[in-house]
Structure 1
């Protein structure tokens, strides 16, 4: 009796089967999510139209929502409370054109967006969520960390929106790299004594969150990259590549206020990468000093006037408040006007 033939499955075949299943599941989930978005939009539209019948009576809107919620909550549950119906109405008022709704966004994300009163700011987060496939939690984190306001500290509103709309590619490091960087996800206490190696270890452990904070187009290349100059060894803390800027990005970590020696060390790493690692068609390497504190004048006078490759970015281990971001923006605008 012949032994049954033993066949080895092709790995690419198995991978294709797996991808088909995962894609179908993802599409099904997104379809359900978007149906929920459309449902709340239609609820908001219907409530708004009904409210117009009693627009001459100020209390009619509140009466309408409270009573319809009492009726439908019995059958459909808390997802149709007065608060949810108020959100649906606000959703419709904010996005009155149904065809403008984005299939990539779910109800949780739209709930976050309709809380933003500034139209440009809301558009920015809507576009970036769609462009980068942010989850609801990632969008919430970006809003809470003041991503939009932090980009405005070193860019004008027009350029920030143009990049988000994909009307052009980023042309300078400041269009992507934020100052300050917010690293609250590390769980390090601002008043704790720690070393650069502790900060580096925490960043690597939370690499996905750090890439989100770094921004669009970053990919991880190396940690403690060894640079040998004759018999002297040096180690660059973190090396990334940015596909939008088409260049290497070297990050040096400093848990103290930066000195001119720190700037000189990073400049040496940047020069090394430009001369030994960079391809001819790539852009010059960017160096970022990620530090606990900085002196902008020190950076300015240590580097040449035409410098656009060495940046200093202060990190903070807590989420900023709106008041703090508004104050930073006010100071930046004052300095610009001077």
Structure 2
């Protein structure tokens, strides 16, 4: 596969090439989510695998967990033929590792994938900031219009502004009604959606940031939005923010606010493969990789 100098879409492969290889998909992902746009602390790219290995089946998932590795090795048809490649959002070895024995959880994932010949690639903060990345997918899911980055960081090769999060508008509503809408479209998980603020307050301008969003609380306030949707908000930052006024807060789960990007990525890859006349099976894992498995309403009283 070749990438043309004027387009981020792949040119048709040579007629002798029956399928893409891992390296072709790496080049495609680089064209959409350049590694240079990832945060300095991040780890993105090919984690395990051979760039020359053919790819006829591809699995997309948020986390490179043991369950995802098992799904990849079992394969799309449970017939003993694994997926050729897995692309995840989160890295497997963000903090590095000195030892990866099979007795270690991450070592077990690496060993399982290598033994089965499955390549593993990830796009993390470079996918967060991209024009058609994680933030845009979440904004589109909840119906934001006229969106711009919450924290701009530059422009892409086609001149689109990129950055963390998105800010946009919705039809005027109330916080309570908007929270109901968000809860109805976020992927189902065990933790639901937390609401902080007066549910009768007016909402028309919204900020979103998939995944952990503590760091952008000040940016959301500076953007003059009515509500900020994110995940993983901690007690003290959220409490202190709400004491200071708008925006109200909606806190979903990390998995639920980032996984909407996976179907978007699947459609992009399928379209690119079709344009290049390449047969490629692309599927999105439906495994919920939340660390939590269930939810209980707490009902005790302070003595």
TM category (shorter chain) comes to under 0.3
TM-score normalised by L of structure 2: 0.25
Q: Which has the higher helix share?
A: 1
Q: Which has the higher strand share?
A: 2
Higher relative contact order (CA 8 A, sep 6+): 2
Bigger CA radius of gyration: 1
TM-score normalised by L of structure 1: 0.23
